[in-house]
Amino acid sequence: MVDQTEPTIPPEISVVVPVHNEVDNIEPLIKEILAALQGLGASEILYVDDCSRDGTPEKLVNLKRQIDVLRVLTHQKQSGQSAAIRSGIKAARGTLIITLDGDGQNDPADIPKLLNAYRDHARANVMICGHRARRQDSLTKKVSSKIANGIRARLLGDSTPDTGCGLKVFRRDDFLDLPSFDHMHRFLPALMLRNGGEVVSVEVSHRPRERGKSKYGTFDRLWVGITDLVGVMWLKRRKIDPKVDENK
Ligand SMILES: Nc1nc2c(ncn2[C@@H]2O[C@H](COP(=O)(O)OP(=O)(O)O)[C@@H](O)[C@H]2O)c(=O)[nH]1
Ligand SMILES: [Mg+2]
Protein backbone atom coordinates (compact mmCIF):
# COMPACT_ATOMS: atom_id res chain seq x y z
CA MET A 1 0.00 0.00 0.00
CA VAL A 2 1.10 3.53 -0.69
CA ASP A 3 2.43 5.48 2.26
CA GLN A 4 -0.64 7.34 3.52
CA THR A 5 0.17 8.02 7.13
CA GLU A 6 -2.02 11.13 7.18
CA PRO A 7 -4.85 10.74 4.63
CA THR A 8 -6.23 14.21 5.38
CA ILE A 9 -2.99 15.85 4.17
CA PRO A 10 -3.24 16.53 0.43
CA PRO A 11 -0.97 14.21 -1.57
CA GLU A 12 2.23 15.62 -2.95
CA ILE A 13 2.14 13.52 -6.10
CA SER A 14 -0.80 12.89 -8.43
CA VAL A 15 -0.42 10.27 -11.13
CA VAL A 16 -2.77 11.01 -14.05
CA VAL A 17 -3.68 8.28 -16.54
CA PRO A 18 -5.96 8.93 -19.56
CA VAL A 19 -7.78 5.85 -20.86
CA HIS A 20 -10.10 4.90 -23.66
CA ASN A 21 -11.06 1.23 -24.04
CA GLU A 22 -8.21 -0.23 -21.95
CA VAL A 23 -10.16 -2.66 -19.75
CA ASP A 24 -7.53 -5.41 -19.71
CA ASN A 25 -4.71 -2.99 -18.98
CA ILE A 26 -6.31 -1.31 -15.95
CA GLU A 27 -5.55 -3.74 -13.12
CA PRO A 28 -1.99 -4.79 -14.08
CA LEU A 29 -0.93 -1.18 -14.59
CA ILE A 30 -2.48 0.11 -11.35
CA LYS A 31 -0.59 -2.61 -9.44
CA GLU A 32 2.66 -1.49 -11.08
CA ILE A 33 1.94 2.17 -10.32
CA LEU A 34 1.23 1.37 -6.67
CA ALA A 35 4.50 -0.56 -6.45
CA ALA A 36 6.42 2.34 -8.01
CA LEU A 37 4.90 4.85 -5.58
CA GLN A 38 5.99 2.88 -2.50
CA GLY A 39 8.02 5.06 -0.21
CA LEU A 40 7.57 8.22 -2.29
CA GLY A 41 5.22 9.88 0.20
CA ALA A 42 1.51 10.66 0.01
CA SER A 43 0.18 10.19 -3.50
CA GLU A 44 -2.99 9.59 -5.47
CA ILE A 45 -3.77 7.97 -8.82
CA LEU A 46 -6.35 9.58 -11.11
CA TYR A 47 -7.73 7.62 -14.01
CA VAL A 48 -9.71 9.61 -16.56
CA ASP A 49 -12.03 7.51 -18.66
CA ASP A 50 -13.12 9.02 -21.93
CA CYS A 51 -16.40 7.20 -22.66
CA SER A 52 -14.93 3.71 -23.02
CA ARG A 53 -17.33 1.05 -24.24
CA ASP A 54 -15.40 -2.05 -23.18
CA GLY A 55 -16.08 -2.08 -19.42
CA THR A 56 -13.15 0.19 -18.47
CA PRO A 57 -15.20 2.47 -16.14
CA GLU A 58 -16.85 -0.49 -14.40
CA LYS A 59 -13.43 -2.09 -13.85
CA LEU A 60 -12.10 1.17 -12.41
CA VAL A 61 -15.05 1.68 -10.08
CA ASN A 62 -14.62 -1.88 -8.81
CA LEU A 63 -10.93 -1.37 -8.11
CA LYS A 64 -11.63 1.93 -6.41
CA ARG A 65 -13.44 -0.02 -3.67
CA GLN A 66 -10.16 -1.77 -2.79
CA ILE A 67 -7.61 0.97 -3.54
CA ASP A 68 -8.17 4.10 -1.48
CA VAL A 69 -5.67 6.26 -3.38
CA LEU A 70 -7.44 5.60 -6.70
CA ARG A 71 -9.76 8.29 -8.05
CA VAL A 72 -11.89 7.74 -11.13
CA LEU A 73 -13.13 10.53 -13.38
CA THR A 74 -15.33 10.02 -16.42
CA HIS A 75 -16.03 12.38 -19.27
CA GLN A 76 -19.72 12.76 -20.05
CA LYS A 77 -18.85 13.12 -23.72
CA GLN A 78 -15.81 11.69 -25.53
CA SER A 79 -13.30 14.54 -25.58
CA GLY A 80 -9.90 13.04 -26.45
CA GLN A 81 -6.60 12.25 -24.75
CA SER A 82 -5.49 15.86 -24.17
CA ALA A 83 -8.82 16.73 -22.56
CA ALA A 84 -8.57 13.63 -20.35
CA ILE A 85 -5.07 14.58 -19.18
CA ARG A 86 -6.27 18.11 -18.44
CA SER A 87 -9.38 16.91 -16.56
CA GLY A 88 -7.16 14.71 -14.40
CA ILE A 89 -4.71 17.51 -13.68
CA LYS A 90 -7.49 19.97 -12.85
CA ALA A 91 -8.97 17.51 -10.36
CA ALA A 92 -5.55 16.51 -8.94
CA ARG A 93 -4.71 17.51 -5.38
CA GLY A 94 -0.95 17.00 -5.68
CA THR A 95 1.45 19.83 -6.44
CA LEU A 96 3.46 17.50 -8.67
CA ILE A 97 1.92 15.63 -11.60
CA ILE A 98 3.13 12.42 -13.20
CA THR A 99 1.41 11.41 -16.43
CA LEU A 100 1.63 8.07 -18.18
CA ASP A 101 -0.30 6.14 -20.82
CA GLY A 102 -2.90 3.65 -19.64
CA ASP A 103 -2.01 0.88 -22.09
CA GLY A 104 1.04 -0.41 -20.21
CA GLN A 105 3.59 0.75 -22.81
CA ASN A 106 5.19 3.13 -20.28
CA ASP A 107 6.77 1.34 -17.32
CA PRO A 108 5.81 2.82 -13.91
CA ALA A 109 9.17 1.55 -12.61
CA ASP A 110 10.67 4.60 -14.38
CA ILE A 111 8.75 7.01 -12.10
CA PRO A 112 11.49 7.31 -9.41
CA LYS A 113 14.05 8.10 -12.13
CA LEU A 114 11.88 10.93 -13.45
CA LEU A 115 11.27 12.26 -9.95
CA ASN A 116 15.02 12.29 -9.28
CA ALA A 117 15.54 14.32 -12.45
CA TYR A 118 12.78 16.68 -11.29
CA ARG A 119 14.52 17.17 -7.93
CA ASP A 120 17.80 17.93 -9.71
CA HIS A 121 16.14 20.60 -11.87
CA ALA A 122 13.31 21.82 -9.64
CA ARG A 123 12.22 25.31 -10.75
CA ALA A 124 9.08 26.89 -12.19
CA ASN A 125 7.94 25.48 -15.55
CA VAL A 126 10.39 22.61 -15.61
CA MET A 127 9.15 19.52 -17.43
CA ILE A 128 10.81 16.11 -17.21
CA CYS A 129 10.01 14.13 -20.36
CA GLY A 130 10.47 10.43 -20.91
CA HIS A 131 12.48 9.56 -24.00
CA ARG A 132 11.64 6.14 -25.45
CA ALA A 133 15.09 5.41 -26.86
CA ARG A 134 14.16 1.82 -27.78
CA ARG A 135 10.56 2.03 -28.88
CA GLN A 136 8.53 -1.15 -29.01
CA ASP A 137 6.10 -0.17 -31.77
CA SER A 138 5.53 -1.15 -35.38
CA LEU A 139 8.12 -0.05 -37.92
CA THR A 140 5.60 2.33 -39.55
CA LYS A 141 4.92 3.99 -36.21
CA LYS A 142 8.60 4.25 -35.34
CA VAL A 143 9.54 5.77 -38.69
CA SER A 144 6.59 8.19 -38.86
CA SER A 145 7.21 9.27 -35.28
CA LYS A 146 10.93 9.83 -35.93
CA ILE A 147 10.16 12.03 -38.94
CA ALA A 148 7.43 13.95 -37.07
CA ASN A 149 9.71 14.46 -34.04
CA GLY A 150 12.50 15.75 -36.31
CA ILE A 151 10.25 18.27 -38.12
CA ARG A 152 8.64 19.41 -34.89
CA ALA A 153 11.94 19.87 -33.06
CA ARG A 154 13.32 21.90 -35.97
CA LEU A 155 10.27 24.15 -36.35
CA LEU A 156 9.55 24.66 -32.67
CA GLY A 157 13.11 24.48 -31.34
CA ASP A 158 11.85 22.49 -28.35
CA SER A 159 15.02 20.33 -28.20
CA THR A 160 13.04 17.27 -27.12
CA PRO A 161 13.73 13.99 -28.90
CA ASP A 162 10.38 12.41 -28.00
CA THR A 163 7.44 14.70 -27.17
CA GLY A 164 4.93 11.86 -27.62
CA CYS A 165 6.11 9.84 -24.62
CA GLY A 166 3.29 9.72 -22.08
CA LEU A 167 5.65 9.65 -19.09
CA LYS A 168 6.22 13.19 -17.83
CA VAL A 169 6.66 15.03 -14.55
CA PHE A 170 5.80 18.69 -13.95
CA ARG A 171 4.05 21.00 -11.50
CA ARG A 172 0.26 21.18 -11.63
CA ASP A 173 0.19 24.99 -11.55
CA ASP A 174 2.63 25.23 -14.45
CA PHE A 175 0.49 22.96 -16.60
CA LEU A 176 -2.68 24.91 -15.82
CA ASP A 177 -0.93 28.09 -17.03
CA LEU A 178 -0.54 26.62 -20.54
CA PRO A 179 -2.99 27.34 -23.37
CA SER A 180 -5.23 24.30 -23.81
CA PHE A 181 -6.40 22.70 -27.07
CA ASP A 182 -7.15 19.27 -28.48
CA HIS A 183 -3.91 17.27 -29.01
CA MET A 184 -1.89 19.69 -26.85
CA HIS A 185 -0.35 16.67 -25.09
CA ARG A 186 2.03 16.24 -28.04
CA PHE A 187 3.37 19.80 -27.65
CA LEU A 188 3.85 20.15 -23.92
CA PRO A 189 7.64 20.76 -24.03
CA ALA A 190 7.26 23.63 -26.54
CA LEU A 191 4.44 25.12 -24.48
CA MET A 192 6.50 24.95 -21.26
CA LEU A 193 9.46 26.60 -22.99
CA ARG A 194 7.09 29.32 -24.25
CA ASN A 195 6.34 30.06 -20.60
CA GLY A 196 10.04 30.50 -19.85
CA GLY A 197 10.55 26.92 -18.69
CA GLU A 198 13.11 24.19 -19.07
CA VAL A 199 12.70 20.72 -20.57
CA VAL A 200 14.81 17.77 -19.49
CA SER A 201 14.60 14.45 -21.35
CA VAL A 202 15.33 11.25 -19.50
CA GLU A 203 15.67 7.84 -21.18
CA VAL A 204 12.88 5.49 -20.16
CA SER A 205 11.97 1.98 -21.15
CA HIS A 206 9.12 1.23 -23.53
CA ARG A 207 7.12 -1.96 -23.80
CA PRO A 208 5.07 -3.48 -26.58
CA ARG A 209 1.32 -3.09 -26.27
CA GLU A 210 0.24 -6.47 -24.87
CA ARG A 211 -3.52 -5.87 -24.66
CA GLY A 212 -6.04 -3.64 -26.44
CA LYS A 213 -5.53 -1.54 -29.55
CA SER A 214 -3.76 1.72 -30.36
CA LYS A 215 -6.21 4.61 -30.80
CA TYR A 216 -4.20 6.40 -33.46
CA GLY A 217 -3.49 5.62 -37.10
CA THR A 218 -0.39 6.98 -38.85
CA PHE A 219 -2.17 9.30 -41.26
CA ASP A 220 -4.79 10.84 -38.99
CA ARG A 221 -1.96 11.63 -36.56
CA LEU A 222 0.14 13.14 -39.35
CA TRP A 223 -2.67 15.40 -40.53
CA VAL A 224 -3.69 16.82 -37.16
CA GLY A 225 0.03 16.99 -36.36
CA ILE A 226 0.63 19.45 -39.20
CA THR A 227 -2.36 21.64 -38.29
CA ASP A 228 -1.37 21.69 -34.63
CA LEU A 229 2.26 22.42 -35.44
CA VAL A 230 1.23 25.58 -37.30
CA GLY A 231 -0.98 26.51 -34.35
CA VAL A 232 1.85 26.09 -31.83
CA MET A 233 4.23 28.12 -34.03
CA TRP A 234 1.62 30.88 -33.99
CA LEU A 235 1.26 30.62 -30.20
CA LYS A 236 5.04 30.93 -29.84
CA ARG A 237 5.13 34.09 -31.94
CA ARG A 238 2.23 35.68 -30.07
CA LYS A 239 3.54 35.06 -26.59
CA ILE A 240 3.05 37.81 -24.03
CA ASP A 241 5.44 38.08 -21.13
CA PRO A 242 5.36 41.47 -19.42
CA LYS A 243 7.65 42.00 -16.44
CA VAL A 244 5.44 43.62 -13.85
CA ASP A 245 6.46 45.94 -11.00
CA GLU A 246 3.98 46.86 -8.33
CA ASN A 247 4.08 50.46 -7.12
CA LYS A 248 4.05 50.61 -3.37
N1 LIG B 1 -9.08 9.57 -22.28
C2 LIG B 1 -8.63 9.27 -23.49
N3 LIG B 1 -7.54 8.53 -23.57
C4 LIG B 1 -7.10 8.19 -24.79
C5 LIG B 1 -7.75 8.59 -25.98
N6 LIG B 1 -7.03 8.09 -27.02
C7 LIG B 1 -6.01 7.42 -26.47
N8 LIG B 1 -6.06 7.47 -25.14
C9 LIG B 1 -5.16 6.89 -24.16
O10 LIG B 1 -3.89 7.48 -24.32
C11 LIG B 1 -2.88 6.51 -24.16
C12 LIG B 1 -2.04 6.41 -25.44
O13 LIG B 1 -2.86 5.94 -26.49
P14 LIG B 1 -2.39 4.80 -27.49
O15 LIG B 1 -3.59 4.37 -28.26
O16 LIG B 1 -1.65 3.73 -26.74
O17 LIG B 1 -1.41 5.60 -28.42
P18 LIG B 1 -0.04 5.10 -29.08
O19 LIG B 1 0.78 4.47 -28.00
O20 LIG B 1 0.56 6.37 -29.59
O21 LIG B 1 -0.45 4.13 -30.12
C22 LIG B 1 -3.60 5.21 -23.80
O23 LIG B 1 -3.68 5.15 -22.40
C24 LIG B 1 -4.98 5.41 -24.37
O25 LIG B 1 -5.96 4.66 -23.71
C26 LIG B 1 -8.91 9.38 -25.87
O27 LIG B 1 -9.53 9.76 -26.84
N28 LIG B 1 -9.30 9.69 -24.60
MG1 LIG C 1 0.36 3.11 -26.63
Read off the pLDDT of residues 140-157 as tens digits, 9 standing for 90 and up: 888 888 888 888 888 999
Report pLDDT for 202: 97
Ligand 1 midpoint to CA 166 (Å): 9
Report pLDDT for 3: 52
Report pLDDT for 173: 97
Verify whether ligand 1 is closer than 6 Å to residue 22 (CB atom): yes
> Atom 18 of ligand 1 has which residue's CA nearest to it?
214
Report pLDDT for 237: 95
- Residue range 13-237, CATH number: 3.90.550.10
If we measure between CA atoms, which residue out of 19, 43, 36 comes closest to residue 95?
43
State yes or no: pLDDT of 228 exceeds 80: yes
Q: Which ligand is nearest to the CA of 21?
A: 1
Distance CA 158, CA 100 (A): 20
Read off the pLDDT of residues 47-93 as tens digits, 9 standing for 90 and up: 999 999 999 999 999 999 999 999 999 999 999 999 999 999 999 99
Q: What is the mean pLDDT of residues 115-133?
A: 93
Verify whether ligand 1 is closer than 6 Å to residue 105 (CB atom): yes
What is the C-alpha radius of gyration for the chain, rounded to an integer number of angstroms? 18
Could you state, in order of their start, the residue ranges of all structural domains in the chain? Answer: 13-237
Read off the pLDDT of residues 15-48 as tens digits, 9 standing for 90 and up: 999 999 999 999 999 999 999 999 999 999 999 9
State yes or no: pLDDT of 162 exceeds 60: yes
Q: Which atom number of ligand 1 is nearest to the Cα of residue 80?
A: 27
Verify whether ligand 1 is closer than 6 Å to residue 136 (CB atom): no
pTM: 0.93
State yes or no: pLDDT of 8 exceeds 60: no
Verify whether ligand 1 is closer than 6 Å to residue 215 (CB atom): yes
Q: What is the mean pLDDT of residues 160-168?
A: 94
Q: Which ligand is nearest to the CA of 186?
A: 1
Report pLDDT for 113: 96
Task: Give the C-alpha distances (Å, rounded to integers) separating 151 from 2, 70, 108, 119, 225.
Answer: 41, 38, 29, 31, 10
Verify whether ligand 1 is closer than 6 Å to residue 162 (CB atom): no
